């Protein structure tokens, strides 16, 4: 009997290791770090967009200085969008950030529509370059948000389901992360920034 008592800790050790593994002791931090990295990508792309806006506003202002309301709206929306400190485990914080970015997208949409009234602006090489960069950034934002939401789904599944939920609570005090919902106030879908250059008018085939 004494031999069994001495051996029991060694026999129980593999069982404990297996139990810890089954509770997500290794998977949870890895999934959390992956989700955080994907969120950093989202923030980087939004910051890239914010960095383009001052030059874009300045270029448009050079041709359409009297479009004061539009220029002011973009500048103010950018300031609000870049001032929010986001916490991914706080749904209210994420909602506030998403709404601010949505309002900025709508303001940008109005700014870009101004170009239709100014042929010289449409031909400006600096404006065309900024437009291309902004369009590429919008595409990267969409991809970054998708990748983040996928990472969050994987992480949340781990911390909410048995037996991983046990390890998440005991060892990490893990909280579910908030997926990114790209919606603006009173909107059901993400606002669209339209960068398509208007097609030139088709010349008439009629003969004089």
pLDDT of amino acid 98 = 96
Helix locations, 64-192, DSSP H: 68-82, 91-114, 119-123, 125-160, 164-167
pLDDT of amino acid 172 = 66
Q: How many whole angstroms separate alpha carbon 74 and alpha carbon 5? A: 74
Q: How many whole angstroms separate alpha carbon 164 and alpha carbon 166? A: 5
Please report, for residues 88, 97, 171, the alpha-carbon distance to residue 92 in angstroms, rounded to integers and kept in the order given.
Answer: 9, 9, 26
pLDDT of amino acid 164 = 72
pTM assigned to the model: 0.76
* Average pLDDT value over all residues in the chain: 81
Q: What is the mean pLDDT of residues 146-155?
A: 97
Q: How many whole angstroms separate alpha carbon 136 and alpha carbon 143? A: 11
Q: What is the mean pLDDT of residues 114-134?
A: 95
pLDDT of amino acid 166 = 72
Window from 71-80, 128-137, 154-163 with minimum mean pLDDT: 154-163
Contact call for residues 189 and 108 (beta carbons, < 8 A): no
pLDDT of amino acid 19 = 46
Q: pLDDT per residue over 26-44, tens digit each?
A: 788 899 999 999 999 999 9
Q: What is the mean pLDDT of residues 154-169?
A: 80
Comparison of pLDDT for 204 and 162, the residue scoring more: 162
């Amino acid at each position: 009997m004494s031999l069994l008592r001495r051996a029991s800790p060694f026999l129980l050790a593999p069982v404990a290791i297996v139990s810890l593994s089954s509770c997500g002791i290794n998977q949870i931090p890895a999934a959390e770090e992956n989700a955080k990295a994907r969120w950093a990508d989202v923030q980087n792309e939004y910051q890239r967009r914010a960095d383009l806006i001052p030059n874009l506003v300045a270029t448009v202002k050079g041709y359409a200085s009297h479009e004061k309301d539009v220029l002011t709206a973009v500048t103010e929306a950018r300031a609000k969008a870049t001032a929010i400190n986001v916490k991914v485990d706080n749904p209210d914080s994420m909602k506030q950030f998403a709404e601010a970015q949505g309002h900025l997208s709508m303001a940008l949409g109005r700014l870009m529509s101004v170009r239709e009234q100014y042929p010289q602006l449409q031909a400006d090489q600096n404006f065309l370059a900024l437009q291309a960069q902004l369009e590429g950034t919008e595409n990267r934002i969409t991809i970054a948000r998708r990748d983040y939401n996928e990472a969050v789904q994987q992480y949340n599944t781990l911390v909410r389901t048995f037996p991983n939920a046990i390890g998440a609570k005991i060892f990490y005090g893990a909280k579910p992360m908030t997926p990114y919902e790209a919606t603006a106030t009173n909107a059901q879908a993400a606002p669209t920034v339209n960068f398509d250059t208007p097609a030139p008018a088709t010349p008439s085939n009629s003969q004089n």
